Amino acid sequence: MKQRALADRQVGAIGLGGMPMSIEGRPDEARSIATVRAALDAGVTLIDTADAYHRDANEVGHNETLIAKALASYGGDTSHVVVATKGGHLRPGDGSWTRNGDPAYLKAAAKASAQRLGVDAIGLYQFHRPDPEVPYAESVGALAELLDEGVIQRAGISNATVAQIDEANEVLGGRLVSVQNQFSPAFLSSRGELDHCAELGIAFLPWSPLGGIKSAGDLGGRHAAFATVAQAHGVSPQQVALAWELSLADVVLPIPGASRPASIQDSVQAADLELTDDELEQLGSAAG
């Protein structure tokens, strides 16, 4: 697979999002592990998870534990795989999402994530979502301390504005390596953050790059231009969407969620899909 930069590391241009394997509607563990293995076989070297990717209140870190188990049982070398996780978002178990940006909490959460992942230092740790009750600089300051203490190797943020990107990078002393925001043909409001990351040379990780779990399968129905281009190339509209996102900037690293081997096997082929300038213009006009 074609590679892209994540700070000092090169990773596959298409990553794997682990959330669908652990929340409501999740598959059995065997299929999830098969999905991770299929991703690794296809050249995926960036896997995104979070301690909040779980269903029930008593299973915090379900997805982290699952990813760790899949990597440990893979049978091949996984030392080049970067596992990115996140903290600061919580799921009480009733289907809702809450936030905790307290620095002490984030530091404890990161150490717990490292233990579940079975690593001495987390490859990429991201502040999951701003907490309106805590000054943003204080939350990001916890990541700076985690970097200094060697608990994490790289620091990122998620669900951030342009101003928060700049603030986080300042707090981290220029060590911000990634921003993970929602972005897809149906959700373009983070285009400003994507462009800002491109200017700064910071990786931009679109989450729900195919429109989300409930909408990804009908991407071509919702966006006819993507279906038309897909038909011309003999590929899926989902592949076309990921290839279009990759074309927007060299810093873009989509992380499509998957819970079936076939899904991630299809997605990774987007890294090698060549679209013409006319097709890219057509897709850009149709998105939104």
- Give the helix/strand (H/E) hosting 48: strand 46-48
- Whether 279 contacts 53, CB under 8 Å: no
- Whether 239 contacts 227, CB under 8 Å: no
Closest to 168 (Cα-Cα) out of 125, 209, 133: 125
- By residue count, the chain amounts to 288
Closest to 203 (Cα-Cα) out of 10, 2, 63: 10
- Whether 261 contacts 35, CB under 8 Å: yes
Position 101, amino acid: G
- Whether 205 contacts 180, CB under 8 Å: yes
Active site residue 125: no
Residues with a catalytic annotation lie at 53
